[in-house]
Amino acid sequence: MDGQDPIEVPSSPRDKPEPHPDLWYSDGSVALIAEGTAFRVHGGLLAANSDIFKDMLRVPQPDLVETYEGVPIIYLSDTKNDLEHLLKVIYRFQCLWPEAVIEFDVLASLLRMSTKYLFTHIRNAVIARLQQSFPDTLSKWDKTPVPSASTAFQVVALARETNARVLLPAALYRCCQEPLETILRGARDSNGLITKLHAMDIEACMIGMRFLVAARRKHTFRFLSKGPRYRAITGVRSVHVKWSEKCAKLSYCGEFIQSFVQFAVRSGSWERHDALVRTTDELWEARRQRVCVHCLAAWKKANTNGRENVWNELPSYFNLSEWDVIRGECR
C-alpha cells in the first residue's frame, strides 16, 4: 500500500456507472467502480490473491450497502485504465507471459496496482518482465539489448515508487552512461517526451559515476593498471610486467600494454563510466598480431573476471543493499 485509501468516499450523488464491456461477469459477486465504470468480478478470486481485497470484502464498508444490479459496490480511487489492466491480468494471466507483447505504460500501471493491492504474484511477474531489460545477473545483462535512456529513467522512478529495488542497479548503470546534461535535464524518448530523474537519483548517478570510473580501472581494465600504468603516465621506461609465465614475446607485450595505456589516457577513455564494457573477441583478435597468445589470454581472463567484480559491486555504487538482499525483496 502507498498509504492511500483504496476506497473512494463519495462526496456527492453519482451518475449510474457504465458496465465495462468486457470485464463484466454475470455471476460476479461485487462491482468495482472506477471513474464511473463498473467491473463486475468475483470477490473470492480477488480475496484469494490480495490481502487488501480480502479485508475490503470481509469488513462491511458503508459503500457495500449500495448495490449495482444486485451486487455490492466498492468505489475505488484508481483510474479506469489502471483497474482494467489489473483485472485483465487476474482473469487472463497469460497476457503477462514472457513472450507476450506489453507496453511499458501497462507494465508500470500493473506494478503500481499490484504493489498497492498486494497481488504478490502479479508484482513479481511484472518485475520479472522489467528484468528482461534491467536484469540482476551479468550473463543476462550481456544478452540484453541496451535499453533506451528514457526507459531507464522511467524504470528508476517506477522502481523507487514501488520499492522494486532489484531493478535499480542495472537501470542506474544505464542512466550513468548518458551525458551529464541528460542526467540533469532528463532523457527524451522517440516521441519527444522528456523523463527527468528525481533529485535523489541524480545524486545517485553523480556518486555512482565516480565509482564506475574507479571500477573500470580497478576491475574491468585491471590488466592495464597493474604495473605499467604508472610508468606510462609518468613516462618512465617500462620494466616489463609478466602477465603470463608462458609469455613468448616479453618486450613486445610490455611495449604494447604501455602504448595501450597511453592511448587510454590521451583519448579520455580512462575517465569513462562504462565499467561493464566488454572487450569483444574482434578487439582481442586485432591485438593478437602484436602480443603473444599467452598474455592475450591472461588479459582476456582479467577482463572477464573484472566485469564480474563490477557487477557484484554494482548495487554498492548506488548506495543499495547487496544483490542477494534486493533480490530477496522481490520473491
Contacts to Zn ion by CB under 5 A: 247, 253, 292, 295
Measuring CA to CA, which residue among 142, 199, 207, 194 is closest to residue 170? 142
Helix boundaries (H) for 249-322: 250-267, 281-287, 293-317
The CB-of-269 to Zn ion minimum distance in angstroms stands at: 23
The CB-of-243 to Zn ion minimum distance in angstroms stands at: 6
Shorter beta-carbon distance to Zn ion: residue 65 or 239: 239
The CB-of-296 to Zn ion minimum distance in angstroms stands at: 8
The CB-of-219 to Zn ion minimum distance in angstroms stands at: 22
Other CB atoms within 10 Å distance of the CB of residue 234: 8
Shorter beta-carbon distance to Zn ion: residue 176 or 295: 295
The CB-of-246 to Zn ion minimum distance in angstroms stands at: 8
Shorter beta-carbon distance to Zn ion: residue 202 or 297: 297
- Give ∠ CA 24-26-32 in degrees, rounded to 5: 45
The CB-of-236 to Zn ion minimum distance in angstroms stands at: 21
Shorter beta-carbon distance to Zn ion: residue 86 or 295: 295
Other CB atoms within 10 Å distance of the CB of residue 197: 25
Amino acid letter, 196: K
Diameter of the chain by CA atoms? 90
Pairing, β 187-188 against β 67-68: unpaired
Q: Which residues contact 215 (CB under 8 A, 6 or more apart)?
A: 275, 309, 310, 313, 317
- What is the CA 291 to chain-centroid distance, rounded? 39
**Alpha-carbon span 302 to 313, nearest angstrom:** 16
Shorter beta-carbon distance to Zn ion: residue 214 or 293: 293
Shorter beta-carbon distance to Zn ion: residue 108 or 253: 253
Shorter beta-carbon distance to Zn ion: residue 193 or 286: 286
Q: Which residue has 524518448 as its cell numbers?
A: 189
Shorter beta-carbon distance to Zn ion: residue 75 or 299: 299
Whether residue 129 contacts residue 96, with contact meaning beta carbons closer than 8 Å, is answered with: yes
The CB-of-263 to Zn ion minimum distance in angstroms stands at: 19
**Alpha-carbon span 198 to 164, nearest angstrom:** 16
The CB-of-242 to Zn ion minimum distance in angstroms stands at: 8
Shorter beta-carbon distance to Zn ion: residue 251 or 269: 251
Measuring CA to CA, which residue among 175, 173, 151, 159 is closest to residue 310? 173
**Alpha-carbon span 104 to 154, nearest angstrom:** 9
The CB-of-257 to Zn ion minimum distance in angstroms stands at: 9
Whether residue 9 contacts residue 61, with contact meaning beta carbons closer than 8 Å, is answered with: no
User: How many alpha carbons lie under 13 Å from residue 57 in its C-beta half-sphere?
Assistant: 20
Whether residue 173 contacts residue 160, with contact meaning beta carbons closer than 8 Å, is answered with: no
